[in-house]
Amino acid sequence: MTEPNQLTVYANTSSLSDFYNPIGVYMQTIAVIAQKGGAGKTTLALGLAVAAMQDKKTAAVIDTDPQATATNWTDRRDAETPWVVASPVARIKQAIAAALSQGVELLLIDTPPHASQEAAEAARVADLVLIPVRPHLFDIETLKTVRDLLKLAGEPPSLVVINQAPVQGSAAQQTAAAIRNMGFTVAPTVLHQRAAHMHATNVGQGPTEFDPSGKAAAEVIQLYKFTRKLIDKLKKEANHGQTEPTSARA
C-alpha cells in the first residue's frame, strides 16, 4: 500500500515535454481532466493558477472548454493575471507556444465536462494530469474511462485529486483506498467541500485570495507545492533517462 506522503507515479517520464521559455525556465504543464461534469476541473485549474501567481510565478490557463467557464471568470476579475486563453483543443500546440513565448512558468489546461478526445490531447502534452474526483461512487466508476483515455494519451503521469470531500467522516479516506486499488495514484492533499471555492470564483478570485488564511486556501497551496515538486522530480528523472516507476516525496 502506498504511504500517503510517498507517491509512486507509474508513467513514461520520457514522454515529458520539453517546454523551456525564452529565459530558459521550464514551463510546467498540468492538464485537468474528468469524465464526470462538475467534478471541479475549472475551480482547481484557476485555484492553482492563482496560487502560482501569488508564488510569483507567471501562470496561465488554456480554456479548451466551449462553456468558457474559466474565460468568463476573468470578466469578474480585477487583476490581469493569471492569463486565461480560450483555445479549442485543435489549436493547443499554438496556445502552448504562445504561453512559452510569454515566459509562462505554470500552464494549466482546463478541459470540457467529459473526458474525450479533447481531454486526451490535453493529457498528451501535459507533464502531469490532475483528475478531480468527488467521493461518490458515480464519480469513482468513471475512472475506468479515464484510464482508457490516459492510455490513449500515452500514459502521462497522473494524480487523482479527491475534491469536495465532506469535512467530517471518512469518505475521503475510503475513496482514496478504493481509487488506489484501481491502480491510480491519489494526491496526498484532499480538497474538502468548502464554500470559499464558490465564493472566490464568483468574484473572479481563487480561494487563496478570497480567504488567504482559510482552510480552502491552505489545501490549494499544499496541492500547488506538491504538484510543482512532483513535476520537478519527474523532469529530473526523465533527464537522467529513468523510466517507470518514478517516486516523489511530498
Ligand X SMILES: Nc1ncnc2c1ncn2[C@@H]1O[C@H](COP(=O)(O)OP(=O)(O)OP(=O)(O)O)[C@@H](O)[C@H]1O
Cis peptide bond N-terminal to 82, omega within 30: yes
Does 111 contact Mg ion by CB under 5 A? no
Write the secondary structure of 73-95 as one string of H (helix), E (strand) and C (coil).
HHHCCCCCCCEEEECCHHHHHHH
Q: Quick one: what does residue 77 bind among ligand X, Mg ion, none, with the CB cut-off 5 to 8 Å set by partner type? A: none
Q: Quick one: what does residue 82 bind among ligand X, Mg ion, none, with the CB cut-off 5 to 8 Å set by partner type? A: none
Does 118 contact ligand X by CB under 6 A? no
CB 191 within 8 A of CB 226: no
Q: Grid coordinates in use for 13?
A: 517520464
Q: Grid coordinates in use for 151?
A: 492510455
Report the residue from 9, 31, 33, 34 that binds ligand X according to the rule CB under 6 A: 34
CB of 32 to ligand X, least distance (A): 8
Q: Which is nearer to Mg ion, 136 or 180 (CB)?
A: 136
Q: Grid coordinates in use for 52?
A: 502560482
Does 69 contact Mg ion by CB under 5 A? yes
Q: Which one, of 116, 110, 180, lies nearest residue 148 by Cα? A: 116
Q: Which stretch binds ligand X (CB under 6 A): 49-57, 74-82, 98-106, 190-198?
A: 190-198
Q: Is 121 exposed, middle or buried (0-12, 13-18, 19+ CB in 10 A)?
A: buried
Does 191 contact ligand X by CB under 6 A? yes
- Quote the DSSP letter at residue 35: S
CB of 31 to Mg ion, least distance (A): 13
Report the residue from 29, 158, 201, 208 that binds ligand X according to the rule CB under 6 A: 201
The DSSP line for 155-168 is ---EEEEE-SB-SS
Residue 60, φ and ψ in degrees, nearest 5: -150, 155
Binding string, residues 14-53; x marks residues near Mg ion by CB under 5 A:
---------------------------xx-----------
Does 65 contact ligand X by CB under 6 A? yes
- Quote the DSSP letter at residue 14: G
Does 64 contact Mg ion by CB under 5 A? no
Distances (CA, A) of 68 to 63, 125, 214: 7, 21, 28
Percent helix, strand and coil across the chain, each rounded to 5? 45, 15, 40
CB of 217 to ligand X, least distance (A): 12
Does 124 contact ligand X by CB under 6 A? no
Q: Which amino acid is at 106?
A: L
Q: Quick one: what does residue 127 bind among ligand X, Mg ion, none, with the CB cut-off 5 to 8 Å set by partner type? A: none
Q: Which is nearer to ligand X, 73 or 184 (CB)?
A: 73
Does 42 contact ligand X by CB under 6 A? yes
- Note the residues at the interface with ligand X (CB under 6 A): 34, 37-43, 65, 67, 69, 113, 163-164, 191, 193-194, 197-198, 201
- Note the residues at the interface with Mg ion (CB under 5 A): 41-42, 69
